[in-house]
Amino acid sequence: MKVAIVGGGPSAFYVASRLLSRMTDARLRVHVFDRLWAPHGLVRYGVAPDHPEVKNCTNKFDQVAADARFRFYGNVNVGTPPPPGMAQTVQLGLEDLQKHYSHLVFATGCTLPALHTALVNSPWCMPALGFVHWYTQHPSAPPPPALDTLTHVALIGNGNVALDIARILLTPPLVLEKYDVPQPVLEVLRRSTVRHVDIIARRGPINAAFTAKELRELINLPDASMRPIDPELLVPPDTASRQQTRILQLLGQGSRNTFGSTPKTWVLDFFKSPIGIEPPSPGEYQPRLQLTHTSVDTHGRAVPQTPAPPLPTSLVIPSLGFRAEPAARFFDPALGHLRAQAGRVLDEEGRVVRNVYASGWAANGAKGVLATTMMDAYAVADVVCADVGVDIEAGVSVDVSETQMYPEFMMNPAPADDLPPLQVRDGAAARVVTYPDWQRVDAEEVRRGELVGKERERMRWEEAEAFLWGDGVSRTT
């Protein structure tokens, strides 16, 4: 059995971990391909830098990579066009994986931002994903926001990502500099003139998408304060959960600093939704975010009501979630992710595609936290085991009837060897990053960070390339 996993984030590593632990066969091979040169996906390029505890899962991933049956191949793009700024990736078609692997798992996540129709293509907008990719130094290398020309930022959406961005903008760089914040990012933040952040939510506090932990961090910022919220909005209904009640209590307490007593301020503005952006008037330097009041109907949907006063702002950052790439095989536009049921990928007619699976956000959409992803990945790996007849208790493979699935997208039932496709293992120009390569980079980043008193100092691709292959010779294993 030879498994290819496309994507190198937490879902991929958890699937690999489960397969390797459930199957004792020494001939099993699990190969992970990621178009990013560094592994771990959103753990490296999505988690806010001041949340280092969330990254502890990489210790588990290191253990997975130590299994002799596992291989990681970074800087390898599979099946879709490479994103902007990543043309250096080695290109693989799905047909290459079909030839070399008996099973395929998509763990590709949701890599594109969900867009607001009223804000598309506005020069005053920057998607939240682009902002996050900037401060995590994602290989797509988005340009830095011109924070030294901005005074006011409006965030659309009130999930954890929106609060992460607000916290980065409102936290003193002196506090952030000990964390995993790249030096170029710190330099931009030190020049920032942002003094106020609006967080706009289309529904009310009881429907808040952020967690109590994220809110607590924001209200306790040393140099920022929150505008008080109307107490009438904070009365918990009888149906409120413990989490909802706690969030309402925290909102009622407000920030530890009195509003207006700090250099920076922020607002949670509920029951509002954007309807467009009006360019600056002559003599003005800020556009105006056009808003409407909203209400929540009996189905829990936000419904536009009367116009709200326009909001002058320097930059609008929509933070409305993520979706998978439409160019991906088996993508369903109605779902925004791959077609899958109980971990098994489906074709357009709803039939199970033999030996092809999907896990995590790729299969379910962008929802849930790391623990959710782990449990889903384990469940998908167990489905793979069941489909090949593995007795999970004994770890023994048995024959499974060929009639259980439809062979619409054929994998190779008997791969010839345990090597990756030729494009990955051959050619001096192929800059493929293995897990031992990554561990060398990881250790060097930590060493560089220690020199300046921080968690790590990240490398860009060009730096990692020079560090790994300064002799100009590429290698893979």
Binding site for NADP(+): what residues are annotated?
Answer: 158-161, 202-203, 214, 368
CA distances for 129 relative to 42, 43, 258, 294, 329, angstroms: 11, 14, 31, 25, 23
CB of 76 closer than 8 Å to CB of 90: yes
Residue the block writes with tokens 């167990």: 382
- Residues belonging to the binding site for FAD are 11, 42, 78, 361
CB of 167 closer than 8 Å to CB of 217: yes
The span from the CA of 290 to the CA of 157, in Å, is 15
The span from the CA of 379 to the CA of 401, in Å, is 22
CB of 199 closer than 8 Å to CB of 166: yes
Find the radius of gyration of the CA atoms of the chain: 24
| Residue of 151, 118, 143 whose CA lies nearest to 264 | 151
- Residues belonging to the binding site are 11, 42, 78, 158-161, 202-203, 214, 361, 368
Looking only at Cα atoms, what is the longest distance across the chain? 76
HEC profile of 385-440: HHHCCCECCCCECCCCCHHHCECCCCCCCCCCCCCCCHHHHCCCCCCCECHHHHHH
CB of 172 closer than 8 Å to CB of 223: yes
| Residue of 343, 346, 348, 347 whose CA lies nearest to 360 | 343
Burial class (CB in 10 A: 0-12, 13-18, 19+), 309: exposed
